[in-house]
Amino acid sequence: MASIQSPTRVLTLAAVLAGCLLAAVPAAAATFTVNRTHDAVDARPGDGVCETAPGNRICTLRAAIQEANARPGADTVNVPAGTYTITLLNSVHEDRAVDGDLDITDSLTLTGAGAAKTIITTTRAPIDVGERILHILGPITVDIRGVTIRGASFLFFVDGGAIANIDATLSVTQSVITRGSVEGHGGGIFNNRGTVTIRESRIAENFAEIGGGGGIANRDGTIIVIDSTISNNATDEGEAAGLLNVQGTMMIVNSTIADNGAGENLAGGLFNDRGLVVVTNTTFTGNRSGTLDRDTSGGNIVNVDGTITLTNVTIARNGAAFPLPGGSRGGGLLNLRGRITMHNSLLAHNMAENGPDCSGVITSLGYNIIGNLAGCTFVRGPSDNVGDPRLGDFEPSTTPGRGHIPLLAGSAAIDRGLSPTCGAVDQLNQSRRDGNAVGGTQCDRGAVEFQP
């Protein structure tokens, strides 16, 4: 005879089964839209309602991030046009976005109305504050689009003036990171063990006093810069005004690295310390190191125990100061130890007392033009040229990554590259296949094709 289960047991089993099924279904992503520009905490993080008091429906940026943090899964925070000012206090450095910087601890998409319209900034911080604007704590994925993140004060004992990314995967698209200012590393962005992809964005006017990496500092992580501009960043006593890479990986494509300045140390543009850097279709110009009272070598790119690969890159008009006898070296490239290779590239019109264009061992993979080999051990490859490549003035652009130095008519770079390795387009997204319409079949050397 078949046994008959009691109604109570059947209901219990059904409840358990239903609970298991619900647990297997991920929570639906939520969207929170900010509607106030002041800074205030959420009333009840995790209840699914962004509001600063029960029933008031006032949703601040901090409250929205707190709600997103409290919910499992990837949520969205929409930030309309306006200036959103957060308050940095002498907090206890908690990581729940209750006080000080905006801590992001769960996957999130933060979308603004455009970098010119949505601005996230701070009040002036107390002198010993240890906070920044965004503090991203992985392992999570964060996507930031269409905003300006603007620092407002000098932060002591901090890495990452605008953004600190720790163990997370972060993308920054069509945005501006500016005026971040720290004593430590990464005035604009500090990345520690995470992956940061920057597209169609500007990292500009940031400052790292001692640690270095005025624009971006990368430690043991990955930085990818595409169609972007790194400009007018600075460091005083640290290495690298623009980009600092320490035991990490950095890829720079179709970008402009310009007018970054290192005061008392190395590398106006890029400092690579035991890492790997790959650069393609990119212009380095106006980067500098050194002060009037101290000689500092490496005006633009410095490599120490790492590997740097340069393909279709233009490096021109960078400089290392040389106010005292004995002077500096390596205005364009300085390889102290490690390996720097060049291919289809231009290196000319840089300044230093010793080795104005390059210093140390530079290995050619062919089809380069070097303006001045004095002070440089250049291991030549096929079809390299030494001499003036005939370059025009730097042409800045309001479009990120499009600032460049054009080739002048008659330049030895025209139709003298190796086409199979040039790629389909140049830094300006112009065709590499005889884009200059002068009848040649080869691409041009450097970051951009000649335009008659």
pLDDT digits (tens, 9 = 90+) for 280-306: 999 999 999 875 455 577 889 999 999
- pLDDT tens track for 349-396: 999 888 899 999 999 999 999 999 998 999 988 899 999 999 999 999
- Length, in residues, of the chain: 452
Q: Return the minimum-mean-pLDDT range out of 25-34, 47-56, 102-111, 217-226.
A: 25-34
- Residue 399 reports pLDDT greater than 60: yes
Where are the strands (E) in 193-351, listed by range? 195-199, 202-204, 207-208, 216-219, 222-226, 229-231, 234-235, 243-246, 249-253, 256-258, 261-262, 270-273, 276-285, 288-289, 301-316, 319-320, 333-343, 346-348
- Residue 318 reports pLDDT greater than 50: yes
Give the residues across from 163 on adjacent strands. 134, 189
Element (H, E) at 141: strand 141-145
- Residue 224 reports pLDDT greater than 90: yes
Confidence (pLDDT) at 124: 67
Instruction: State the Cα–Cα distance between residues 318 and 388, nearest whole angstrom.
Output: 15
Q: Please choose, from the candidates 115, 113, 117, the residue with its C-alpha nearest in 3D space to the C-alpha of residue 162.
A: 115
Contact 96, 103 (CB under 8 A): yes
Give the residues across from 216 on adjacent strands. 189, 243
Taking the domains of the chain in order of start, what are their residue ranges?
78-386
The average pLDDT across 22-39 equals 78
- Residue 11 reports pLDDT greater than 70: no
Confidence (pLDDT) at 278: 98
Instruction: State the Cα–Cα distance between residues 354 and 320, nearest whole angstrom.
Output: 10
Q: What number of other Cβ atoms are within 10 A of residue 19's Cβ?
A: 10
Question: What is the pTM assigned to this prediction?
Answer: 0.91
Q: How many helices (H) and strands (E) does the chain have?
A: 2, 37
Confidence (pLDDT) at 216: 98
More confident residue, 26 or 5: 26
Residue with tokens 């801590």: 103
Alpha helices in 136-181 (DSSP H): none
Residue with tokens 């933060």: 110
- pLDDT tens track for 402-452: 999 999 999 999 999 998 899 999 999 999 876 555 656 789 999 999 988
